[in-house]
Structure 1
Amino acid sequence: MDLLRGFLTFFALLNAASWAALAAAWAFRPDWSERLPMQLGTHERYRKAAPAWVRLAVALTGFWTLAAGLYLTAGHNTAALVVIALFTAAAACLIVAIGAAAAVYRALKPEPLPITLEGGQQPL
């Protein structure tokens, strides 16, 4: 079980480091977004949404860091208040991440196509 806990902690810290690196790149060097995989950031609308991406990446960094702390502390002789505080903080980071993801979606949402109604049709 300690091996699994160690692996999960390493995985969470690796995720946290990755999201922190992305947050730093989007915050300080938005032009680096062209180098991201899957051509994420090559379009102008991705570049305009860089602040929203930063908020999302920071929230996910916080979540994964707290998850690593949970993996290290839960199950040992840790005070219940510590585990509850870590769990609550991780949940708060996820709630912030959901809000940041919604902001990213709103920023990247394409313009609707113009629709012309046929004669006699009513708009919905």
Structure 2
Amino acid sequence: MDASLTALVSSLGDTAVDLLEAGESEGWSPSAADDTLGIVDALCVALAAHGGPLEIPLTQVRAHIAAAQQAVRQDLPPAPRRGSAAARREVQEGTARFRAWRDARVHQWPAPPRVRRSSWDA
């Protein structure tokens, strides 16, 4: 790897850290998440193009990235009735949390901690 490519990779790593910190502090929107997944997919394509032992794992990563992009882009079916078996299943598999994140006006990930009050606080 020549010096200019090494510098570009180092700069890309710094930019990725900045992006992660900005997403954690300001929150992620679905469009920002989709754009970021697209960039990661392009990097996987570039690395997989050289073949070798990384080609198959990167192909699998690209399939997961495509599934994540599709989940961010497509509409979810209407939420099930509260308390139903389907609602409990959505909570278990994380669909309910994903729906709440994607449809929220402010996208915080991870969610800020909840402050719980009890009778002992008084």
Same fold (TM over 0.5): no
Higher-helix-fraction structure: 1
Normalized against structure 1, the TM-score is what?
0.35
Q: Pick the structure with greater CA Rg.
A: 1
TM (norm. structure 2) is 0.36
